Amino acid sequence: MQVKAHILIRFLLRHTYHILVLNSNNNSISLHNKEKNLSFQFNSLLGEIAIERGFVFTTIRIKLFDERVIKFKWVSWKCAKRFSSEFHYLFESWLKDKLTKVDTIVNLVNKDIQKLIEQQRYIKQSEVDSFVQKFELKMKQLDLLPEYIKIYRKEVYEFFEEKMIYDLIDKSNQAWIKKVSNHWDNWFQANHNISLNSSQLKSILVDDDINFVLAGAGSGKTTVLVGKLLYLLENKSYLEDEILCLTFGKDAAKEIQDRLKKRGFAKCKVQTFHSYALSIVNEVENNNRTLTEFISNQTQKRLWLQSKIYKLLENTHIFVKWKRYHSDFKIFGLCKFEKPQDIKSNTTLEYIWSRIMEIHNSDLSKKDIINKTLNNEKVHKEVLLFWPLYKQYLLYLKESAKLDFHTTIVDATKYIKKNKFQNIPKLLMVDEFQDISQIRLNLLMSILNTRKPISLFAVGDDWQSIFNFAGSRVSLMTNFQNLFPRTKLTRLNKTYRYNQFISTVSSKFITKNKNQLKKVTQSNDMNNSKSIFFTKNDNLENILIKLNNSYDKNIQNILFLGRTKKDKPHIISLLKDNLKNLKIKFMTCHESKGQEADYVFITNVDQGKFPLERNLATLNDYLNSESSEVNDEMEERRLFYVAITRAKKKVWVSYQTNPSKFYLELKKISDLKH
């Protein structure tokens, strides 16, 4: 059917559209004149038509979904009414046919969803994605805009387009967890002698594509990680060789391996990031490359560095530059500097080595590093000074075909991205995620971005992120849900290590840091009696003697903690053999991560010592946006929190001459709590 504008209009306004056609064969309307035409499919129309009667002529208005309006003027009232009636009939017939097909598609998809729910298992978001994608593909094939669904099938639109399907599956998953929790709780106890609380069991049973367990100190994260593996293997979700568990240290890897071996699962791959990366490099290169001896042999490293420095300073011009720098800023640990051979102390060599490693680990060009350090003359000149030594180190790695920790992970990541390494796991597990660095995250992302579907299970505690100096970035932990937007988060908030008093006081202390993940910690031991004490270093001997005398043949573990190795109290060596009921050990706070003891003594908590006040700016401060004066203190606070939470029974915090702000702050919290 078509309507035409009045003949006079067609003659006078030749360039105006003067014919409106309703095409029943292809469900469209079109506008025409002698030179061109313009067509609109029903799929782009809102379905509303209005006719406005004028004094002589009538105007037809048809609304589009994009809010535009098709106006066709200068027709008779009779023709306009007939066109409107015919349009309504054709459009409604077309829409009815489309909606009938939509209903058929929805019914089929809903049946598939119901079948999935009836399988009585945890349903992953990626599985739900497939249903949404299937529906969207069908709608695309149907050539029907989502706006039609929104208007005429609102509940369908909300279910698929507004993702209410995910809410339905989430409720189904929660109901399933509640239903099977008792069965799996009994299974763990009967088969593996593992007792789990409700939050631990939930963290195991939640089995989505991206899983993140926020675990407080002493909350049993390793138990949950091992439990997760046992559950998935028992459930036949994965084969042993389809799982990869990555840790940051050999001890953690060994502990997880030992627990799995005891339960008959020796094939699960549990490795440190570095050992896994090295295996990738050697497999791709069909080689047997090894790590540089400098990692384990400090003497060899220093001798090599010393020889390169002496060789470099044979150049008179370079030697003068070094002397000028030392005159202005002092090379750390170096008293006099009159000849190259004066650079020989381990302190100075380690300082220079640390700067070389900061340049190396930055992965930046010389130009970029120089630009980033322009506002600090000392650090800027250090980069220029030590750059030739860095180039010598790169040459050494190349000529010896050796790797270091950094190059191993970088090379492995490169090979995975280029699809040169094919043995990709189906499940990737990461322990202590708070220790993640950018290059380790790049390795993880390269694995997750391969074409295979891969799930991630990570556990960590941002309150215990203490290795910023080694490259870890707490922001990668606190931004986990931004890095992985569809994360399923569970929390382990109950600690089994210490009592409620230590839990409350340590939590109040650590939560003074900003930008942390929220968590509430509660102890399994509700004892609220005072368990943190404050004293001077001079009193420690008497405290130890009293502790020793209060136990009879019941050995108690004593852990002395210091900010640095220099904080080891001399009384340990003096009393160690005389206190038969005490097993005394000293560690730095960093070394104590993952350890525990009956009683903990944190010594030398003096002003300038803990929190440690750094006098030397480092290159890392300028390359890492997280390193600032404020964030240094935040890192120190996390370290102090780690020290406190090593204790199972009691903590003593002591100072030598001038108590630090941490000492006074913790004492105030403790006194108020008591």
SS3 335: coil
SS3 651: strand
* Token pair of 351 as six digits: 């300082």
User: Measured between alpha carbons, how far apart are the two ends of the chain, in Å?
Assistant: 90
Check: CB of residue 461 under 8 Å from CB of residue 501: no
CA nearest neighbour of 77 among 100, 52, 43, 114 = 52
The annotation status of 223 as a binding-site residue, yes or no, is: no
Question: Residue 490 contacts by C-beta under 8 Å, 6 or more apart in sequence?
Answer: 199, 202, 203, 206, 211, 212, 213, 214
Considering all CA atoms of the chain, what is the largest pairwise distance in Å, rounded to the nearest integer? 120
CA distance 635 to 469: 10
The annotation status of 130 as a binding-site residue, yes or no, is: no
Beta bridge partners of 59: 52
CB atoms inside a 10 Å sphere around CB 607: 17
The annotation status of 253 as a binding-site residue, yes or no, is: no
- Supply the DSSP symbol for 124: P
CB atoms inside a 10 Å sphere around CB 205: 22
Residue 67: φ, ψ to 5°: 75, 0
Question: Residue 455 contacts by C-beta under 8 Å, 6 or more apart in sequence?
Answer: 124, 207, 208, 209, 210, 211, 426, 427, 428
SS3 611: coil
- Supply the DSSP symbol for 19: E
The annotation status of 553 as a binding-site residue, yes or no, is: no
Q: Is the peptide bond before 611 cis (omega within 30 degrees of 0)?
A: yes
The annotation status of 217 as a binding-site residue, yes or no, is: yes
CA distance 23 to 129: 38
The annotation status of 216 as a binding-site residue, yes or no, is: yes
Which run of H or of E encompasses 402? none
CA distances, 324 to each of 113, 337, 373, 374 (Å)? 75, 10, 19, 18
Beta bridge partners of 488: 211
CA nearest neighbour of 460 among 222, 273, 654 = 222
188-193-197 Cα angle (round to 5): 60
> For strand 488-492 and strand 647-655, is the pairing parallel, antiparallel, or unpaired?
unpaired
Question: Residue 521 contacts by C-beta under 8 Å, 6 or more apart in sequence?
Answer: 216, 217, 219, 493, 494, 495, 503, 507
Q: DSSP states of 441-485 as a string?
A: HHHHHHHHTSSS--EEEEEE-GGG---GGGTB-HHHHHTHHHHST
Point out the annotated binding site: 215-222
Point out the annotated binding site for ATP: 215-222
